[in-house]
Amino acid sequence: MALRCSYLVTLLILSATLLVVVNANRNFPNEKQKSRKIIVGGDQKWRFGFNYTNWAIKEGPFFVNDTLVFKFDPPSNTTSPHSVYLLRNYQSFVNCDLKKAKKVADVTQGGGNGFKYVMKKQKPYYFACGVGNGFHCKIGLMKFTVIPLPSCK
């Protein structure tokens, strides 16, 4: 029964995500869309305890060729280290499963201008912090997904 409920919840989340994408696409039917540089988390940057899923919903829509900029302090005595992983699929995202994830930024790459990631395809992108074998992802809300819309050119 619990397994069936988890599938139902997953289906509801995917349906809601598709509705957001469809509605966002209606807002830009004939406009030329320029690529944007978007700081992940805005002025909160990439940090433990900030809800990046809510941020992504509010910040969207995102488009193909938009650049996500991950800014975070390098590890020190006063700051926790962070990294950026690209997870394989939705199930890995939900479970913060890093086993087959691809590290795209290590703990030293978020300083200065930050680490830049260009979304070149119209597909789901699942991002998470990999620190503590997914601890920051699971407990610290350091994960989000983006499905960029095609650019209108």
The per-residue pLDDT of the chain, averaged, comes to 83
Please indicate whether residue 57 or residue 25 has the higher confidence score (pLDDT). Answer: 57
Please indicate whether residue 16 or residue 46 has the higher confidence score (pLDDT). Answer: 46
Least confident range from 83-87, 111-115, 120-124: namely 111-115
Q: 4: pLDDT confidence band, cut at 50, 70 and 90?
A: low
- For 45-77, what is each residue's pLDDT tens digit? 999 999 999 999 999 999 999 999 999 987 788
Taking the chain, what is the end-to-end CA distance rounded to the nearest angstrom?
Answer: 48
- The domains of the chain, with CATH numbers, are 2-146 (2.60.40.420)
Model confidence, pTM: 0.77
Q: 80: pLDDT confidence band, cut at 50, 70 and 90?
A: confident
| 3-state per-residue secondary structure call for 95-123 | HCCCCCCEEEECCCCCCCCCEEEECCCCC
State the burial class of residue 45 (Cβ atoms within 10 Å of its Cβ: 0-12, 13-18, 19+): middle
**Highest-pLDDT range among 67-71, 78-82, 128-132:** 67-71
For residue 21, the model assigns a pLDDT of: 46
The position carrying tokens 């919903």 is 57
pLDDT at 10 over 80: no
pLDDT at 145 over 50: yes
